Amino acid sequence: MRRLFVLLLLTSSFAVAQTAPSSPAASNTAAPAPNPAADAAADTAVRTWLAGGFNRDSAQPNPNAADPNAELLRQVRGAIAQFRYFPPPEGTRVSFDLRRVETGEANERIYTYPITSQITGDSQIRVTMALQNGAWRADRIGLGEPGSAIPDWVSEPWAGWLFAALSAALLYACIAPTFWRRALERSVQSVRQHAGIFIGTNLLLYGIYVIGTLIGIANPAIVRALGEFFTQVLSSSGVAQLTQGTVASAAFGIFLNNLRAGIMIATFIPGSLFAVPAFVISSLQFLIYGVALAPVGTLPIQAWLLHVPTILIELQAYIFVVASSGVMLSRIVKRTPFSVAWREYAACLPLAISILALGAWYEAFEIIVLIPAVLR
């Protein structure tokens, strides 16, 4: 169950780009300055990782046994720990003498260590050390090089202009008599013909989201744990750095991220497998979203209210795809050939993409303009 939760955390963290202002790490061409204290702490962290210490510590019972939610919090922290500190493969050997410093910032240093194991063969681990309260602590330990959810070129000035032009073309395609508009009309017609499925899916998933929000309000510690986790993942993946650019470039990056992870990976592809996986995965993800975005975090309520339209718009795009997969399953049950039903299912993508584009523009404007104005 915990491994399933780890997988859901991974997909959920990228499915909705709930970014937060942060400063991108500066690129250093020169070798980082020596820091013996951080080097020693990194070696100690790797030895703790080899012994399974990070995951074992997270599995210890909560000392506050009187708290009825202590076990739930322990399970959440344990799942997050398995994601942040990838369990060492069996028989892993680390070459400490070949430790390499990748980046050496004032409050963060990233190390790589060559490793050998029966599963990975010759590989490496990447250790991120953070300076916390005057001491260096392991923030993340994982295998290999980090991936980026956002292409580097999205931060270029021309990328913002490109997305603005694409958005204008998309708006024209939605209004003018084009194939895109015909696809939108087919989607609207499908909603009317299968109103029960679409209404039921909205009630189900938004209802689960509300339940998650209520759980988060009752458990602020879990909200903080998930919030810190999502912030770190989004920062390391490049999503959070979008806030350092223009509204247009941030909207472009958010759109690409949500299209790839939120629509294709988390909903459309699972929905192609006879709908059931899409409903199951989305239900669990919406529960996580509700908990993680509950209004008991560090942002004031005014900032949270500004984020509500983002939640409604972007989640509606995902809900529409999930409901469309339900329509596909309904047609298959009624003896419609799978190829025909799947083509009708794929026709939901233009409307979902249009909704995502609208949500990306609002979210970028909200994060870069509206929320900073409220926080002043």
Which residue type occupies 172? Y
| Domains of the chain listed by start with CATH number | 22-143 (3.10.450), 152-375 (no CATH)
**Residue in 154, 153, 160, 150 with CA at minimum distance from that of residue 361:** 160
Total count of residues recorded for the chain = 376
**Residue in 218, 210, 244, 216 with CA at minimum distance from that of residue 230:** 216
Residue 116: enclosing H or E segment and its boundaries? strand 108-117
Longest dimension (CA), the chain: 69
pLDDT class of 286 with cuts at 50, 70, 90: very high
Residue 156 φ then ψ, to 5°: -70, 145
Exposed/middle/buried for 222, CB within 10 Å: 0-12, 13-18, 19+? Answer: buried
Tell me which range, 10-24, 192-206, 211-225, is most confidently predicted by mean pLDDT. Answer: 192-206
Residue 2 φ then ψ, to 5°: -65, -35
**Interval 104-156: pLDDT, tens:** 788 889 899 998 887 667 788 889 898 888 899 888 887 765 555 677 788 88
**Interval 158-192: pLDDT, tens:** 999 999 999 999 999 999 999 999 999 999 999 99
**Residue in 21, 10, 9 with CA at minimum distance from that of residue 239:** 21
Question: Across all residues in the chain, what is the average pLDDT?
Answer: 82
Please give the Cα distance from 242 to 154 (Å, whole number).
9
Confidence (pTM) = 0.75
